[in-house]
Amino acid sequence: MKVLVLNGPNLGRLGRRQPEIYGTTTHDELAERCVEWGSEIGLEVEVRQTNHEGVMVDWLNAAADDATPVVLNAAAWTHYSYAIYDACAQLEAPLVEVHISDPFQRPEEFRHSSVVSPHAVAVIAGHGIQGYRMALERIAHDAG
């Protein structure tokens, strides 16, 4: 089964951006791990990252059309993008929301809400890069 792992703005800077919060794993390393983890549990994983909201909406719309499961870290869009909310609402296959840090434990008040969560079968937050593995396992479990 194909699964999309979609990452939003600034996640392409993993490993360099605030490593005390997001760790030292780069996005390329994360992508490699997701492909490996998926392979171990029978998933064909494709990892994408964009800083452009319309591109993310297009990817989510295509996932809806193809009934492709999605692991989504919408990053900053999580907290305010109604375009992402509407695109997630169209998904037919499971959506798992993932965050490297736990937004609800962060001091910035704006991080304490999510427009993705209402459409997700699970929210995995605060487990670092391992959260992606947990999200893929949830997708595999739900498909199984």
Q: Where are the domains of the chain?
A: 2-143
Q: Which residues are annotated as a binding site?
A: 73, 79, 86, 100-101, 111
**In the beta sheet, which residues pair with residue 7?**
49, 73
Q: Please state the pTM of the whole predicted model.
A: 0.93
Closest CA to 94 of 124, 114, 58: 124
Q: Which residues are annotated as a binding site for substrate?
A: 73, 79, 86, 100-101, 111
CA–CA distances in Å: residue 76 to residues 5, 20, 64, 79, 134: 16, 18, 22, 6, 21
> pLDDT for 21-65, tens place per residue?
777 899 999 999 999 999 999 999 999 999 999 999 999 999 999
Rounded Cα–Cα distance for residues 63 and 96 (Å): 13
Q: Are 15 and 26 in contact (CB under 8 A)?
A: yes
User: Which residues are identified as catalytic?
Assistant: 22, 99
CATH topology of domain 2-143: Rossmann fold (3.40.50)
